[in-house]
Chains A and B, each alone.
Chain A
């Protein structure tokens, strides 16, 4: 389970650093934070190639959910830009 522990610790560190750095730059766009989290999740999961196939399958499902969330954010932003929603 050492691999799992390293994966979780690295992911936590990445998320924490991203939040701290973006907040230092006074970023107020939630979409930016979420996009960075999704990108970091994808990259880190890809780098851990020797994971248990069952673990990989579950992480892929999580990746799909995050991608759906990202898609919803993009759709909301697009609608706001097009001026359909107030």
Chain B
């Protein structure tokens, strides 16, 4: 537990503060210094508390696991020769967690999903024989589980949900802005802190960041969503999503 820097700092601060309070109060009889000692103890308690919420898995291990997962999905999609864009489906349209549907047949038009999709790898999503696709768990799928409650379909509520998860919990960016127009959702991410190699799978699924945003957006809107485009500038990412019927 003491390897956690917050816990270590908190313990040291509490020890130092608690040691000096009696000295400042009884020996030096100084109110400001006593108050300073108390503030050090308060800071120590805060550090200790925050340290206990830090995940046990180090960021390096998390990056390794993410890399392994993405490479597995990439290998699967490349082997099957899939080039269609993934459609992020909300949990209300599946019998399990929200996942991404990758149609097996590449088509210029987006798939029309009829009914709830079963919890399987290969699913039929429409009446045509060609309406078959792969249901894949992406980095966005477990992200949706971090939401405290289902957000509403407005831009403000989606922005709040994205900020809560991607900034507050995952610390992936500085700020987010969401704009909705017709069937397009534009998300501006300031200073995204996620780095990943350029892989073919990201053209189909979107980058992990886009995947998380699309999953949460699909859940909020209650409709399937596809990543239309991603643009990366110096300190800003603009991700455009298309909302499907």
Contact = CB atoms under 8 A, between A and B. Distances in A.
Contacts of B43: 8, 11-12, 15
Taking chain A's interface residues, is the majority helix, strand, or loop, or is none over half, making it mixed? Answer: helix
Nearest to B167: A50
Interface string B46-63: 110110111000000000
Contacts, number: 79
B215 interface: no
A37 interface: yes
B164 A62 contact: no
Given A1-B54, A23-B32, A33 B38 contact: yes
Nearest to B174: A2
A37 B42 contact: yes
Given A22-B32, A23-B32, A29-B31, A51 B168 contact: yes
B35 A34 contact: yes
Taking chain B's interface residues, is the majority helix, strand, or loop, or is none over half, making it mixed? Answer: helix
Nearest to B32: A23
B23 to A, nearest CB: 15
A5 to B, nearest CB: 9
A62 B39 CA distance: 13
B148 interface: yes
Interface string A37-60: 100010000000111111100110
Interface in B123-146: none
Contact of B46 (A19, A30, A62): A62
A7 B128 CA distance: 55
B42 A15 contact: yes
Contact of B163 (A8, A50, A53): A50
Nearest to B168: A50
Given A27-B31, A34-B35, A1 B171 contact: yes
B46 A8 contact: yes
Contacts of A37: 35, 38-39, 42
Closest 3 CB pairs of A and B: A50-B168, A33-B35, A58-B49
